[in-house]
Structure formats: structure tokens, C-alpha cells
């Protein structure tokens, strides 16, 4: 049981400005009190500033879905940490498996993105997770260990403690196939062990989210897991009714 969950809506490449507006209108009518959970919206870059305006006087936070590590310059199509901050975003997802699989993100580039976010005062949400092949070959823990050690290379323990971690098994993302509760607890435990091994103080206090096909029908069981501090939610966060239901359920635990 937790005092507070962290619920991150990863909207991926979904929602125009108009669609963001109608979502927030509807959502605000469904969530009438300040939720116990920390609720973070990560819309596409194109809607960050607009969403910041809509969320300004609410308890909801704003995050981006990626960040480039250079400060400025000839990097067509990229967005820096400073630029993200200027939209009002305070969080940023780093190393999502779709970035790793479709856009060539590696542990090394994840490391650079994390450093850029941290040095600009953005809180990174660092995603890690194994593919189905890696799980079948019983390599899950090695993969998670490698992603953490390489991704966090050269980052001070003080900064590592600021990061929110998200365990997202690649095979569970957007597939409707959620990881079993015991698998999730096992990997979350292991993440804490790796962090302990890196000498991170109080790694029991570090927030570790689960992501992958979480929805309003399966969240209840996951809320009972000891090792889970919250959720990174894709598809189910696109619908105001469903996301509100997830938030309401997280209040009841």
C-alpha cells in the first residue's frame, strides 16, 4: 500500500491541439478533487505549451516524451531540455522502448538524454525493459542490469535518486498482454538491487513504475503490488473516462 502513486499518461504520437482541449474539458469534469496520486501528462511536443496553459491551475503535471542532449544548434527536428522547460514541462520520458526500437536510442544516448534532463532540472522518467526474445532466453535481469548500469553511467547518486524508473517489458507495450504481477514484483526488486549495487542511497525510496497494457480493468490487481509505485500508461490514458477511472481506482487502495 502506498501513500501516493505516480500515474503518467504517455500520449505518444496522438492528439491534436483540439483533441487535447476536449480531453482536458471532459477529464476535469470527471476528476473534481485533487487526486492523491501524482498525475503527469506527456502529450506530443506540439501540444506541450497548450497543455501547460490548460493544466496551469490544476494539480496535474506536464512532461515531454523525449529530449535531445545538445543545448542548441544545427540538429533539425530535435528539442533541447531548455526548450522543454520553457513550455512548462517538468518531466521527460527517456529511453522509451519505442525510441529504442524505432529511432535508434541506445544505452549511450539514453545516458546523454538523462544527463541533459537532470542538468536542466527536468525529472527524467527512465524506461527499461526486455524484449520477448530476451525474456524467453531468461536474459531479463541481465538486460535490465545493463540498461541501468550503462544508462546511469557517470550520473551522481544524488541525481539518480531524482529519476523515476519505469519497467516496461517491450512485449507488453500496446499489445494487451500485461506482465504477470509476480514478474513485475521480481523485476522491480531487481531494479532496486542494481541501484543498491550502484551505491544509491535509499533505493527503497526510489519510484519504480510499471508500464505495458495497463487499463481500467487490470489496474486493481497491480495496485496491490508492494514494489510498484505507479504506472506509465499509453493507450488507456487517451480516453478521459478510462484514465479518470484509473485515477479513481488508485485512490481507493
Compute the C-alpha angle 68/66/20, nearest 5°.
135
Per CB under 6 A, residues contacting ligand PGA are 10, 168, 173-174, 211-214, 232-236
**CA dihedral (79, 210, 55, 16) positive or negative:** positive
- Residue the block writes with cell 545516458: 111
Q: Measured from the CB atom, is 53 or 174 closer to ligand PGA?
A: 174
- Kindly state the smallest distance separating residue 232's Cβ from ligand PGA, in Å: 4
- Kindly state the smallest distance separating residue 197's Cβ from ligand PGA, in Å: 26
- Kindly state the smallest distance separating residue 211's Cβ from ligand PGA, in Å: 4
Q: Measured from the CB atom, is 90 or 218 closer to ligand PGA?
A: 218
- Kindly state the smallest distance separating residue 233's Cβ from ligand PGA, in Å: 5
Q: Measured from the CB atom, is 9 or 24 closer to ligand PGA?
A: 9
Q: Cα separation of 66 and 218, whole Å?
A: 27
Chain centroid to CA 31? 21
- Kindly state the smallest distance separating residue 44's Cβ from ligand PGA, in Å: 14
Q: Measured from the CB atom, is 63 or 234 closer to ligand PGA?
A: 234
Kindly name the residue from 98, 130, 134, 168 that is annotated as catalytic: 168
152 φψ region: left (φ > 0), alpha (ψ -120 to 50), beta (else): alpha
Q: Quickly count: other Cβ atoms within 10 Å of residue 199's Cβ.
A: 9
Q: Measured from the CB atom, is 48 or 214 closer to ligand PGA?
A: 214
Kindly name the residue from 96, 134, 188, 227 that is annotated as catalytic: 96
C-alpha cell at 193: 538491487
| Residue showing the smallest CB distance to ligand PGA in the complex | 234
H helices of the chain, where? Answer: 17-30, 48-55, 81-87, 97-102, 107-119, 132-136, 140-151, 157-160, 181-197, 219-223, 240-251
Q: Cα separation of 253 and 245, whole Å?
A: 13
> In the annotation, is 96 catalytic?
yes
The 3-state DSSP class for residue 165 equals strand
Strand ranges for 25-114 from DSSP E? 38-42, 61-64, 91-94
> In the annotation, is 33 catalytic?
no
Catalytic residue positions?
96, 168
Amino acid at each position: 500500500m502506498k501513500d501516493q502513486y505516480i500515474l503518467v499518461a504517455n500520449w505518444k504520437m496522438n492528439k491534436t491541439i483540439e483533441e487535447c482541449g476536449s480531453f482536458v474539458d471532459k477529464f476535469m469534469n470527471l476528476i473534481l478533487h485533487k487526486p492523491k496520486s501524482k498525475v503527469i501528462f506527456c502529450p506530443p511536443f506540439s501540444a506541450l505549451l497548450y497543455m501547460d496553459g490548460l493544466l496551469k491551475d490544476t494539480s496535474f503535471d506536464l512532461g515531454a516524451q523525449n529530449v535531445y542532449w545538445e543545448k542548441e544548434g544545427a540538429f533539425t527536428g530535435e528539442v533541447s531540455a531548455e526548450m522543454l522547460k520553457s513550455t512548462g514541462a517538468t518531466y521527460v520520458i527517456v529511453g522509451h522502448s519505442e525510441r529504442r526500437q524505432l529511432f535508434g536510442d541506445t544505452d549511450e544516448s539514453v545516458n546523454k538524454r538523462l544527463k541533459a534532463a537532470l542538468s536542466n532540472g527536468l525529472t527524467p522518467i527512465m524506461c527499461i525493459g526486455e524484449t520477448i526474445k530476451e525474456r524467453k532466453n531468461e536474459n531479463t535481469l541481465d538486460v535490465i542490469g545493463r540498461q541501468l548500469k550503462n544508462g546511469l553511467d557517470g550520473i551522481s547518486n544524488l541525481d539518480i535518486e531524482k529519476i523515476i524508473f519505469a519497467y516496461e517489458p517491450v512485449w507488453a507495450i500496446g499489445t494487451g498482454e500485461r506482465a504477470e504481477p509476480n514478474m513485475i514484483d521480481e523485476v522491480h526488486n531487481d531494479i532496486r538491487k542494481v541501484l543498491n549495487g550502484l551505491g544509491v542511497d535509499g533505493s527503497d525510496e526510489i519510484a519504480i513504475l510499471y508500464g505495458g497494457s495497463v487499463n481500467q480493468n487490470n489496474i486493481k490487481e497491480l495496485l496491490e503490488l508492494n514494489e510498484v509505485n505507479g504506472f506509465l500508461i499509453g493507450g488507456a490514458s487517451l480516453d478521459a473516462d478510462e484514465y479518470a477511472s484509473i485515477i479513481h481506482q488508485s485512490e481507493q487502495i
